[in-house]
Structure formats: C-alpha cells, structure tokens
Chain A
Amino acid sequence: MAKKSINEKCYVYINGRILGFVKDGLAYSKEIRTARRTGVLSGEINVSYMKKLNAVHINTDNGRIRKPYVVVEGGKSKLTADILEKLRKKEIEFSYLLRHGIVEYLDAEEEENTLVVFKESDITPETTHLEVDMTSLFGFTLNTSPFPEHNNAARHAMLSNFIKQSQGLYATNFNLRFDSRSYLLFYPQNPIVSTSVYRSAKMEKHPSGQNFIVALSTYYGYNMADAVVINKGAVDRGLGRSMFYKTYSDEERRYPGGQKDVFKVPPPTAEGYLGEHAYSKLSEDGIIEPETMVDEGDVLIGKVAPPRFLEESISASGLEEKIRDDSTTLKAGEKGVIDSVVFTESTGATKVVKVRIKSLKIPEKGDKFASRQGQKGVAAYIVPPEDMPFNEQGIVPDLLLNPHSVPNRLTFGHLLEELAGKAGAVAGKMVDGTAFAEKGSARIQQFGEELEKYGFDKFGDETLYDGLTGKRFTAKIFNGIVYYNRLYHMVSNKLQVRSRGPVQILTHQPTEGKARQGGLRFGEMERDVLVGYGASLLLKERLLDQSDKASVLICKDCGNIGYYDYIKRTVVCPICGGSSMSEVEISYAFKLLLDEIKSMHIFPSIKMKE
C-alpha cells in the first residue's frame, strides 16, 4: 500500500517523462481532450488517465499507431445525419470532421479510457466513441477478401498471406521497371464479389486474380489433400497465364591501382573462359541483344576483370596483361527471352548493364493457387476439357476443389463467395461482400432468389455429367464462381534434381541448395533410421560412396597418412619414411579431421587389423 500523501497527487507524464502533478487526473485528462476537440490543442496529441497508477500520460511523439473513431458525447454520435449529408454532397471534407472534433484519432493508450460501440443503436450514456466502420476490425488485406466474418480466424492469417503472394498487375509501368523478380498476370480480372475496401483502395486498377468457375467435387484421386484439378481448355484460353521477369545486372567496377572491368566478349585467353559456345549470343559490345532466346549456361553480360591477386599480373611475363572472365551467365534451370537491355551509369560513374529476361509461365502441375478464403491448392492435373464434368448447358468448371477442404477448416466464406459469384454472374451484376454488411442467412436468401430468377438452383447445386463416361453424377454438385489467385510459387522456378554434381572444396561433400545444384541432406535422424533398420551397407553407400569417399595410403609402421611417389614408383610415409602402406577407404571429412588434429600438434595414429 502506497502512502496516501503521495497518492493524493496525480503524476503527469509527457512522452514518458514526468512533467508535474495535478490534483484530479481524470478531470485534467478530460480538459485536455476537450481542448483537442475544440482545436485549441493539436489533434495529434493523445492523453490517457491510468486509474490504477493514478497517472496521466500525454503522448505527442512519433511512431504511435492511431485509429479514427467517431466521438460520442452525451449519448449521441457527433456524426449526425446532417453532417453525413453535407459530406455526401462534398460541401465539407474529412478534415472538417477532424477539426470540429467529430472524428478523432486514438492511440493504444487512450483507447484504454474509452467505451466503443459498433453500431449507433448500441450507444448508451457511458459510450465515448463509435466505430467508424465494422471493417476497421480487420486489417487492409483481410478486408479485400469477401465475407471474412464467416471464416475461422486461423484462415484469416493464411489468406492475408496468400493475397500478398498473388500474381497480378502489380504496377502499370512494369515495362519500365527493372525489378529483380516480378510476375505479371496476362488477363487480370476484377472479382465479381468485391468489398468496399477493395474498391476504395482502387484495387480495381491493379487486380491480381481471375474469376474461376469452381465445382466442389472430387475428380478421381487427383484433388486429394489440397490438390486442385484445372481445366486445360481454360488454361489454353489464358486462365492463370503469366509472365515471369527477372533482371540480371552487372557493373564495370574500378579497382585500386587504376584497373577496371570492361564489358566485352572475353578472349579465349581469359582465365575461366567458358568456351566459345557460351558467348555465341553476345553482340559486339559484349552484351546480349533483346529478343534472343536464352538457355541455362548462356552468357548474358560478357565482362573481363583484372586478376584477383596482384602477383598474377606481375609474374605473367609482362607482354600481355592477364585478365579474368567475370561474365554473368543464366542460372541453371532457367530459360526465356531477353525482354529488355539497359545500358546506364551508376552514381559512382561506372557503366551498369541491366538485362531483363522474361519467361512465359503457363499453369502446370505443381503451381500453387489460392482463393481469398485461405484455401490453397497445388494443381495436380491439368485435365483435357472433354474429360471435365459438365452441366446441361455445357458449362465446364475451370477448377475442381475437393469438398473435403471445407468442413474441417470452417471456411464458410468460400461457399458464400461461390454462391454470390454465381448469382452475380447470372444477373450480370457486381456483388458486394464487405464484412458485416449483412447477415449471412439474409445473403444466402438474396443470392438464392437471384439464381432462381435465372432458372438455377437456389443453393447453387447442379446436375453434372462425368466427362470421361458421359454418365450423370448421382449427387448434385455445388458450383459457382470464386476469385482465385495464382501465387508466385511455381514449380518451374523451384524444380531441381541431382544425381551427380558439384562438391564442396573443403570437405569433398556434395553442395547444398538449389543455386549450387546441391543434394538433399541425409541428416542425423535419417542416419538413425538406417541404423535402426540394420541396413549397414546402404548406410555406408549413402554416407561414404555417394558422398566424400577418399582412398588414402596408411603407413603400417606409424599409422600416418602417406602418398604414392610417381617418380620413384613407390609409396612413401612422410613421417617415418617407411614404405609398407595399405590403401584404405575413409571419408574425406575424417581425413580432414586428422589433418586438423595434426595442426594442433597432436599425432593421431591409425592401427589396422590385418
């Protein structure tokens, strides 16, 4: 218990520093608030009274996250119908509301002093603020998705990520940009079911998906476990088609000593010359021309650089200056067409070349798709259109989503969007799917009526026929229109295989990672599995024969590693000088370990059984 004499005074802090004391903190904070609303104080000031600590915190510093609220005073919203009407007629602007204390921004601390209601009808005498809109409960990305209030919260986090990963028209000046990687959807569409946030953020100017006809149906085994089946007919007509752009760039660097890089086709004398064929696509200036088809290993920017170490240029007999090839080549597994070449100068007055390469990405098996409802899937089969299910009118779905994807995940928004999309499509209208705009049941009714008006089932179910057999499916199948995004995770940019390949210099073990054509690590737990199964030879093969097998000569006398002297045609032990050796297969990593132990003046000796 704090002593009363201290507690009588209320501390006042400004940006966390003590300013002084006041008698009544609550009244003081209210006074500041009134001053802010009447325009005496800046609207960027936030004040909060902390009851437990009996302290007033005034914050004016930067970095606070603030959110607008409509001010409620005396049980009445200050945003009256009158003012709304004026706003609508554009007689006044939003800033008017801020200036006159009708709307104010609150930070996290001041929010603790408020009682906010969502609807005007919920206002009680205690209410201090009114939420501007129900959508402000969610973030921007989530608000671009329709019916989010019908989905499980865990899906919200997922769908927000998927929307950010979608391919679309990310910028209208894409042709002038040299992003290191960019994706451009060929025929972006606006969603039939959009939201108020989507529209007011002008997302319509750069959409990032397409309206897919989706049937909630299995297709033999092809859409099990988050796989989707896609209609090849639709793909051929441009569904999900996109272009992938990648920029390679290089610079003519200057080195201390007056040496510099030069863009040109490297001469065969250059160190690290890749062979005549690799440079065949370069023009005279050493840079590739636009519209050239390129494949992995092709040189895009030819460049020669001075040798890495100074001694090399000196020791080279003097007549011809030694140079090193430092060209930029297309990475393994990549191919495409040169889209654009830019020749410019950097801020350091060095020549810079940027080469943009484009490659067409037609949807294929392994590409990732997602709806705006947190439902992702990998295309597992691109079905010929004649084999797809169809309805009486001959409508063939673009995508088949497995119905098992819905019940566990509670993505009712997906079903609602599908129904809404279908209703909007048949009526030729855009549909609004803003969060909390209407009750779900009322919406189902509404969409159902619309569908019935055009002769469709009110629940969106239709009789479908199997494209393979022509037989009618016993069950009616729910279908409709869902806005799908093609995400930028595409197999063609990820696929990698290795049977033999590069090894690390230090350990002689295979490299790791796609960029180095590496293998997949056979780790400790995988090792344990083979040990547990007793597969001793398979284990040895994985860890030795297919990794860093080394054949070494070991001295029978001193147990040290020796070598074969090709001149004397005999084996030599450098330690004891002995010449009786046996050849042993060990892992190179172990040889390295022995070397490192020796470097510490410890002499490891290997004794061998006969």
Chain B
Amino acid sequence: MAKRNFFVIPGEPVGVIAAQSIGEPGTQMVLRSFHYAGVASSIATSGLPRLVEIVDTRKKPATPFSYVYLKGKAAKDFETAEQIVKKINEVKVNDIAKRVLENFSKGTILIRLDDQKLEANELTTKAVASKIEKLIKIEAGTSEHTVIIKTHTKSAKQIRALAVQIGKLTINGIENAGRAVIKQDKATEEFYIVTNNSNILGIMTIDGVDTGRIYTNDIFEMYRVFGVEAARNTVAKELDTVLREQGINVDQRHLFILADAMTSSGAIKNVGRRGLSGEKESIFARAAYEETVKHLINAAAFGEKDDMLGVTENVLIGKQIGLGTGTVTLAIKKEDLSKISEKKAKK
C-alpha cells in the first residue's frame, strides 16, 4: 500500500506539470545570471544560454568538455595520469612551429620548429615530418629543425592553402580532444582528467582510461558513442547541472520526463517546431503552435485525419480534454445496461 503512494495518479498531466516546474524557475534565471571570475579551466556556458542549448539540441555545445576517469594505477598515481594527459593533449603543427615559410618560386613550404616545444612534447623534427607525410601523403624532408615540404606545384594559391592545412594538422594527441587538465576528487582522492573540448571516442582508445565512466556534455557525442539511453541520461543530467548551478531546485522526475520526451523516438529531438511540437500527431495542435498555414495546407493536400486525442486540439474545438477528471468515461451507457439485464434474463 505504501508503495502505491509513489505512483502517479492515472490521467495526471505529468508533461504540463514538468513544463511548468522547469519553466517557472526558468523565468528567474534571466535576471540572475552569475559569472564566476577566475578559474580559467571551468568557464562553461551556464544559465539560460546553456538551457536553451540543451532543449534546442545544438549539434555542438558552445563550450564542450569531457570528464575522463582512469582505471587501475592511473587513478591513484599522478605520474601515470600525467602520461595519459600527454597522450590526450592535442599538438598541432602550428603549436610547435616557430615560423611557416612558403617559397613560391621553388614550390616548397619550410616549417621551422621550436626546439623547446619539440622537447616538451617529446618530438623530433623527423617524427614531425613523417607524421605529416603519413597524414596528407606528401613528400616531407628535414634539415635541422626544419621540415621541408615539396608541393610539386607553383600555384601560389595552392601552396598557401596547403600551408594553412598543414598548420592545422594534429601531430600528437587526440584530435579535437582539447586541453586536458588533471583534477582530483576530494572524496575518493582519485585523479581524473577534464578536457575543454570533447572527442571521447578518441580518448577511449588510450590505455588506462575507464571507458565505462567517460562523460561529455556533448549530447550528440554521447548518443553516437553510447546510444540513446546514454543521451537521455545526459540530457537529464545537463539540465540538472544548469538548474542546480542557478540555485534552482527542480525535481529530477520533471527533467526525466523532458529527457524521455526528447529521446523516446530513438533519436534526439529538440523542443520546438522542428522537433517535439512540430511532430505532434494532431494537425490542429501543430497548426496552433507555429506555421499554421503550412500544416493546414499539407493536411488538406494529403487528406489527413485528426483523431482529436490530445489536449490542444480538444481545447480548440471546445471539447472536454482527456486528462485529469476527463480521463474517465462511462464504459456502459444506461440504455445498454437494460439490454444486458434483458440478455441475462433470457439466459
């Protein structure tokens, strides 16, 4: 019996309640958007802009980051953790180059490398050259601290384009993984890594990374790597983080409803005319939201039928809605009742 009290009453409009429970505190967020000064590593989008980002399901968050947890020795040992950081940290040609020179008459590109930076990243000039050769399949020679690339073209335009392309090549580390920083969990004294961009699939290939606990705030990346259920949990968790940061206490279950609604189709849908609201079953409900004429014309063109099962369409025509006290209807009419008793009498 006690357990039953936890159940939601049949016909309870949980969606509306969830929407109001998130929406009302959301109105206060506009006025109270705090900015934390300092702590350069953790300047993540927060407050209303982040909330909008989540419900609009942007393909890439404005400030992506990932949490990389470690397993085995790395989790307890700083040195080992540091090794992993080095493997993650992305090094581009531009990062280690002192200067990039183009020789348009000879058709070569000279990349003078910075000794100190090479050393810091445990690289040699030759290693850089071979990496470039491998990545874009081009002839690259070396002469002390300089990589010489032969382009076999004399078009200045092509040489310049190539030089720019080479500058952006990733020599070391994981592409798009961003800068990695080691942090320590105060409670468990466990080391973990925070990156200011996210490529969890790349990071997961590194030994010592706990692939089961890796996390990114990029919902689509979680979806690609771990699937919808993970994406659903990420949506809920990110919503919770945003609201909690603002000192707003919204029950988890409201966020779950929203996250479930966004992911129940197996893909991630946003909240709006290109997602949840735009894909409603009812024509009238869609027309009442946005792009009224478009929906009505399409419905007419294809001879669509509206079953009048939702709330909005019933409010529109003035029928009692099928939620709350409108959930229950008579199963047997009074007239039919007499027929039944007649039948019984016959038997």
Contacts and interface: CB of A to CB of B under 8 A. Distances in A.
A597 B17 CA distance: 34
Q: Among B19, B317, B319, which residue has the most Cβ atoms of chain A within 10 A?
A: B317
Nearest to B313: A590
Interface string A586-600: 110110010001000
Given A528-B20, A534-B324, A534-B325, A586 B296 contact: no
Interface stretch (A406-414, A466-474, A538-546): A538-546
B325 A536 contact: yes
B276 to A, nearest CB: 16
A536 B317 contact: no
Contacts of A536: 320-326
B315 A527 contact: yes
A475 interface: no
Interface in B12-34: 12-13, 16-17, 19-20
A319 interface: no
Given A531-B13, A602-B296, A590 B317 contact: yes
B325 A535 contact: yes
A539 B326 CA distance: 10
A505 interface: no
A537 interface: yes
A78 B19 CA distance: 69
Given A532-B20, A597-B296, A537 B326 contact: yes
B311 A540 contact: no
Contact of B13 (A534, A548, A586): A534
B317 A586 contact: yes
B345 interface: no
B324 A535 contact: yes
A590 B317 CA distance: 5
Contacts of A535: 324-325
B1 interface: no
Interface string B301-322: 0000100000100011111111
A552 to B, nearest CB: 11
Nearest to A549: B318
B316 A539 contact: no
A512 interface: no
B247 interface: no
B212 interface: no
B300 interface: yes
B17 A602 contact: no
Those 5 A-B pairs whose CB atoms lie nearest each other, nearest first? A534-B324, A536-B326, A587-B318, A544-B318, A602-B300
A536 B296 CA distance: 27
B323 A528 contact: no
B315 A534 contact: no
A586 B319 CA distance: 7
B11 interface: yes
The A interface, classified by DSSP as helix, strand, loop or mixed, is helix
Contact of A533 (B316, B317, B324): B324
Nearest to B300: A602
Contacts of B13: 531-532, 534
Nearest to B21: A532
Interface string B258-279: 0000000000000000000000
Contacts of B326: 534, 536-537
A528 B323 CA distance: 12
A532 B16 contact: yes
Contacts of B300: 597, 602
A534 B297 CA distance: 33
Contacts of B315: 527, 531, 539, 543
Contact of B317 (A534, A539, A587): A587
Given A536-B321, A540-B320, A548-B318, 13 more contacts: A528-B19, A534-B12, A534-B324, A534-B327, A535-B325, A536-B322, A536-B326, A537-B326, A539-B315, A543-B315, A586-B317, A586-B318, A602-B296
Interface residues of B, number: 25
19 contacts: A528-B16, A531-B13, A531-B311, A532-B13, A534-B11, A534-B323, A534-B324, A535-B325, A536-B321, A536-B323, A536-B324, A536-B326, A539-B321, A544-B318, A548-B318, A586-B318, A587-B316, A590-B318, A597-B296
Contacts of A597: 296, 300
A585 B11 contact: no
Contacts of A540: 318-321
Contacts of B318: 540, 543-544, 548-549, 585-587, 590
A540 B315 CA distance: 7
B97 to A, nearest CB: 26
A593 to B, nearest CB: 8
Q: Among A536, A539, A549, A589, which residue has the most Cβ atoms of chain B within 10 A?
A: A536
B291 to A, nearest CB: 16
B141 to A, nearest CB: 39
A544 B20 CA distance: 24
Interface in A541-568: 543-544, 548-549
Contacts of B11: 534
A524 to B, nearest CB: 10
B317 A531 contact: no
A497 B297 CA distance: 42
B334 to A, nearest CB: 15
Interface string A566-585: 00000000000000000001
Contact of B324 (A531, A549, A607): A531
A527 B323 CA distance: 13
Contact of B325 (A529, A537, A590, A607): A537
Nearest to B292: A593
Contacts of B297: 602
Contacts of B325: 534-537
A586 B308 CA distance: 13
Contacts of A586: 317-319
A302 B154 CA distance: 95
Nearest to A596: B296
A602 B295 CA distance: 13
B23 to A, nearest CB: 9
B57 to A, nearest CB: 23
B211 to A, nearest CB: 42
B296 A531 contact: no
A597 B298 CA distance: 12
Nearest to B16: A532
Contacts of B296: 597, 602
Contacts of A528: 16, 19-20
Nearest to B20: A532
Contacts of B321: 531, 536, 539-540
Contacts of A589: 316
Q: Among A531, A535, A537, A602, which residue has the most Cβ atoms of chain B within 10 A?
A: A531
Contacts of A529: 20
B302 to A, nearest CB: 12
Interface string B201-233: 000000000000000000000000000000000
Given A597-B296, A602-B296, A531 B316 contact: no
Contacts of A533: 324
